[in-house]
Amino acid sequence: MRRLATGLACALLAAAALTAVAAPATAATFAPANGRLLFIGQSTQASWNDYTSFAQPPAGGSVYYEVTSGTWVNNGHRDHATWLAQQGKMIQVGVSWKDNPPGFPGGDENAKAARSRAVTQEIANGQHASQFTNLIDFMNAYPQAKFFLRLDYEVSSFYHCTEASCSSYRNAFARLRSLIDQGTVPDNVTYVFHPVRGEYEKLYPGDAVTDWVGVSVFAHELCLPIYDNGYLYNGTPPQNYDTAALQCRNAYLGKDANGNDTAVWKNWDHDGNVLKMMKFAKDRNKPMIVSESGMMNFTDSGGDTAGLEAARGETWVRRLFGLMNYVGPLPNTSGTYDLSNVIKAATYIDLDFRYGWDGVNDGSFDFPVNSTWFVDGRLSRYTGAKNAFCAGLVDRAFTTTCGGGAAERTFVNVGSNRCLDVSGGRTADGTKVQLWDCLNNPAQKWRVEANGSLVNPNSGKCLDVAGGSTANGAIVQLWTCLGNGAQRWTVNADGTIVNPASGKCLDADGWGTANGTQMIIWTCGNPVQSNQNWR
């Protein structure tokens, strides 16, 4: 969300549909097998710095690229993308044309939307291809980074469909995927379809080209009210909204005492369209990413510039993580659905939105006190929300957490009296892990997490057996934390560090004792060998 759409209208233009450009989906979603990824947004280093003031570095961040200029939205986005890429992080990129359509001469939102619809068809026809050159070159320059491309964001019929079937957007998505796949050398790109919550079926590009389904989660998605010169509810009280409980009200199809179908009314913490989108994604075996999430203005006093984030922020956080673990009925539908493993990644926008979409404090607020976006969403400011967020990361098995109080330590190899070291203090995936003189620096600090991972706090990445190999001699390296067997270790009282997936020990290759000796896994010696002994 760089700019929020002001409304969704059904102003569709008639045009002939095009045949979609074939581009088979890859298996590369980068989703961990047994965990979830956290991204912190958006756009600048400020959000990252605030979040990491109390938590481990997350898996990645979020930035925006615009088609009109053929580059990043501004230098802040470019610099943050570069910083993330240099560390080999995951980067969600909102590739947008609806916010500033190429060739838009100016006018109101309806005029802009009309031009955006036309550009969507032009992209489907193969136009504007050169505007993606900078993006492709950037991704090629950083093969260790992983890019989650949203081919426009919060897509809708109002901004992206030239006719009722919405083939214009589906064909544009396929065309862009084909263009980018042909231009990128490393396999470091995955594609996100990110619709508004009510139009996911209509605009879905198809299983063949979609890797992820994205969703935005702000207030109404969690059935919480927004304050904008008065409260705006997700539903009309009292039939469809409970103002005391701050919950949506809707019916699902249950059974009466005789086993007949009957409408059962209940309160909900989550919007029905979001729950149905989750089922839609699960039915197609597509992981979901919360591409944007953040608090909105909860205040009930026009003179209160702080709002009610401290009071309602914790509720907001608990509902966000509750969505990731949802099991239950769906509105207007019969049956019970397990949607607890559908959302595999989430982006939290840890910014002070009062100063604008990038949260840069320039000395004056960008939004009126009574408006939707007059909100400070920085988690570090709110103890209840922050603690709930940290607990949610652990409960929902995110690959990075707030740390849980785990102490940092060094591992000294008994045979060499040298330390387990990240080569050069680098942070990229695949960085060598080696022996080196003990320097008590960040490259030699490790944190033993509750899930068995060994995290280097400097990079936020894990000690990893390359390729998940279980063979003797498999290289041990630094890699993005994925919560898998290649990154689980048991630190034993006898001094060994064992990878349970292979049953083998962390080993200094060839009994080496010199600086630069590569770490590998090897069958554990009995008795304990000096090159497998750590203190």
pLDDT value of residue 487:
93
- Give the H/E segment covering residue 447: strand 446-448
Q: Which two tokens stand for residue 258?
A: 């005789």
Every domain of the chain and the residues it spans:
37-223+272-395, 408-532
Looking at residue 182, its pLDDT comes to 94
Q: Is-cis flag, bond preceding 182, omega within 30?
A: no
Contact call for residues 190 and 212 (beta carbons, < 8 A): yes
CATH of domain 408-532: 2.80.10.50
Q: What is the pLDDT of residue 483?
A: 79
Could you give the CA distance from residue 167 to residue 106 in angstroms, rounded to a whole number?
Answer: 26
For the chain, what's the residue count? 535
3-class SS string, 317-329: HHHHHHHCCCEEC
- Would you state the structure tokens that stand for residue 363, as one six-digit string? 């000395």
CATH hierarchy code of domain 37-223+272-395: 3.20.20.80
pLDDT in tens, the chain (535 residues): 554 433 333 333 233 333 333 333 344 899 988 889 999 988 888 889 889 888 888 999 999 999 999 999 999 999 999 999 998 899 999 999 999 999 999 999 999 999 999 999 999 999 999 999 999 999 999 998 999 999 999 999 999 999 999 999 999 999 999 999 999 888 899 999 999 998 999 999 999 999 999 999 999 999 999 888 888 999 999 999 999 999 999 999 998 888 888 999 999 999 999 999 999 999 999 999 999 999 988 876 655 666 778 788 999 999 999 999 999 999 999 999 999 999 999 999 999 888 888 887 888 888 888 888 888 899 998 989 999 999 999 999 998 888 755 567 899 999 999 999 999 999 889 999 999 999 989 899 998 876 788 989 888 889 999 999 999 999 999 998 887 899 999 888 888 999 999 999 999 999 999 999 999 999 999 999 999 999 9
What does the pLDDT read at residue 1? 57
Question: Is there a contact between 180 and 134 (Cβ–Cβ < 8 Å)?
Answer: no
User: Angle 365-368-373 (CA atoms, 0-180°, nearest 5)?
Assistant: 85
Q: Are strands 433-436 and 247-255 parallel, antiparallel or unpaired?
A: unpaired
Contact (Cβ atoms closer than 8 angstroms) between residue 224 and residue 316 = yes
> What's the burial of 103, exposed, middle or buried (CB within 10 Å: 0-12/13-18/19+)?
exposed
